[in-house]
Structure formats: structure tokens, C-alpha cells
Amino acid sequence: MKLISGSSNLPLATKIAQYLNIETIDLEISKFANGEKRVWIKDDIAGENICLVQSFDQPVDENIVETLLLIDALERAGARHINFIIPWMGYSLQDKVFRDGEPIAARVIANIISNTYIKRVSLLDLHNSSIPGFFSIPTHHILALKPFTKYVQDNFNLSAAVIVSPDFGGLKRARTFADTLSLELENIDKHRDLYTGKVTPKGLSGDVKDKVCIIYDDVINTGGTVVETAKFLKEKGAREVHFLITHGLFAGDGLAKMNDESIDSVVITNSVHHENLPDKIKIVDVAPVLGESIRAWI
């Protein structure tokens, strides 16, 4: 097997290749003067099994089109099978219809990928665990549970810690994390405005006074929910508030919001590539868990 990376997250793709001890494919990705992407695979890959790595982060639509061009180029160059790792699946938050006239965007993207030369897909910590069912090809839903568990064990005093789910939708994910660490679980009841997206915490299931609160969730988008959650928990008496979030998108002014004094730290994975993150934001590596998802097909 050889690995090929789109332009969205080359550092993570390189780490996956190093972890699996496989070669990377030489390619050139450029743009025509009119803005169209141009893909050129320089290596001979005829008859090879290929691992393609690409996150659908900003610019989301551009990275998706680039991926489709890469898949077509690989097929035309004679690749035998393509295993596709999507560390962050853009459009996955649009997993249901909230208002009449809206699409299920996650299903649209799944259909597009399913109707290419891709053999199987690996997906990391999806917002909705039913999304793999949108694909008509084999999928693997991978969790970042193991690296986050190790981070907590290495960096926190567990006798004072409690796991907090930021909403009812993340309760199952948070409960699994809490059980793994043998910690108590609390849940925040919140309201989301379907038109503005604004989230407002309404209540708390338990007591967090003098506790180190660890919020375990799948994605930070604009960061508004993170700030509101941290303020809410501090108002309830929490000693510290730390966020463990798989996908750090930080859309808009999301990074600036992380400087809010109510937030003690934010830990994300390298599913989305960032340059020059603030000291408050730490990164755990998911290359090993992503690499293991395709080891059987090397």
C-alpha cells in the first residue's frame, strides 16, 4: 500500500504513513488561472492499493472537489483499491432536516463519495453515529477515545475530576468516556435556536462545585458554545473547566474566543491542521488510531 494526501492536512497524512511504514505518493496540486484545481500524480501506482487522506475542512467545497479529482486520477492511473481516511467530514453536522426545504447535506456528501472508485471509508468521531449508514460502501467509524483517555490520565488529578456532557446529544459519547476513566458524569441541558444557532445552557444534572470539569465532545465550530458552557460551569462553582474536543474547526473568530478567562484549556486532535495555535490549546495525535483502521489492508 502507498499513501496519498490531499492538501488539507499533509502533516497528519505524513504521520499516518510513518506509523504504517508505507511510502507516500509524489503528486502536484495546483490551480489554473480561473481558479480550477489541477491534480497530477507523478508516481507509477498501477496495481497498488492506495490510502487517500483528506479532511473536508476550510475551504470545504474546494477540498471536496480536490478529493474527487484525486480519486479520478488514481483510478485512471491504475490503482487497485482506494481506502479513504476522512479525519474531519465536512457537512457532517448537517445530518438531519431542521426546517422544510433543507437538504440532508451529510447524506449528499456520503452519496458523492460512495459513487466513486473508493473501496472503503474511515471516519473519525462523527457528530451522529448514524452517518456511516449514509454511505453505500463499507465504513469504519473510529473514536479518539484512546488518545484522549491517556491525555486525561497523564494530565489531571482524577480524584477531583468529573466528565460533563455539553448537551443531551453528546451524552452517550461522554458516558463512554466517563466509564473508561471511572469518573462521574454530569449533563448540561441547553437550548439551541434553529435559526441563529445560538446555544444557551439551561440546567445541570448534578453538582460541579470545586470540581475539575472535563467536557468531552466531537467538534468546536465557532466556539460560542464552548464559551457559554465554561461560563455556566464556573457560575455553578467549577474550579476548572477543560475541553477535550476531537475536531477543532475554530470558524470565524473561534480561536480568539478560546482566550476567554472561563476556559482553562482546550485539547483537540490533529484531524484539522492549524498553524500557530495559542498556548491554551493542546493537540493529541490521532495518526495511530487512523492508521490502525486500514492496517489490515496493507
Helix, strand, coil tally for the chain in percent (to 5):
30, 30, 40
The residues, ordered by sequence, that sit 6+ positions from 154 with a Cβ below 8 Å of its Cβ are none
Task: Average the pLDDT over 35-48 and give the result.
Answer: 96
Instruction: Among 123-137, 145-159, 195-209, 222-236, name the one with the lowest average pLDDT.
Output: 195-209
pLDDT tens figures, 235-257: 999 999 999 999 999 999 999 99
Say if 2-143+288-297 and 145-270 have the same CATH topology.
yes
Instruction: Report which secondary-structure segment, H or E, holds 114.
Output: helix 105-114
CA distances from 208 to 168, 201, 240 (A): 17, 15, 10
Determine which one of 15, 190, 211, 234 is catalytic.
Answer: 190
**Amino acid, res. 161:** A
| pLDDT value of position 207 | 84
**Amino acid, res. 204:** L
Closest CA to 256 of 225, 223, 226, 229: 223
Q: Does the annotation mark 96 as catalytic?
A: no
Per-residue pLDDT at 147 exceeds 90 = yes
Show contacts of 198-207: CB within 8 Å, 24+ apart: 198/224, 199/167, 199/224, 199/225, 199/228, 200/228, 201/228, 201/229, 201/232, 204/232, 204/233, 204/236, 206/162, 207/236, 207/237
Mapping DSSP to helix (H, G, I), strand (E, B) and coil, where does residue 145 land?
helix
Confidence of residue 231 (pLDDT cuts 50, 70, 90): very high
Residue 203's DSSP bridge partners are 189
Per-residue pLDDT at 129 exceeds 80 = yes
**Residue found by looking up cell 499513501 in the block:** 3
Per-residue pLDDT at 203 exceeds 80 = no
| pLDDT value of position 169 | 72
- Write the CATH number of the domain with boundaries 2-143+288-297: 3.40.50.2020
pTM for this model (two decimals): 0.93
| pLDDT value of position 199 | 63
What ranges do the domains of the chain cover?
A: 2-143+288-297, 145-270
Q: 40 or 188: whose pLDDT is higher? A: 40
Percentage of residues in the chain having pLDDT higher than 70 = 95
- Write the CATH number of the domain with boundaries 145-270: 3.40.50.2020
pLDDT tens figures, 164-200: 988 777 888 999 999 999 999 998 876 666 565 566 6
Dihedral of the alpha carbons of 285, 290, 296, 298, in degrees to the nearest 10: -80
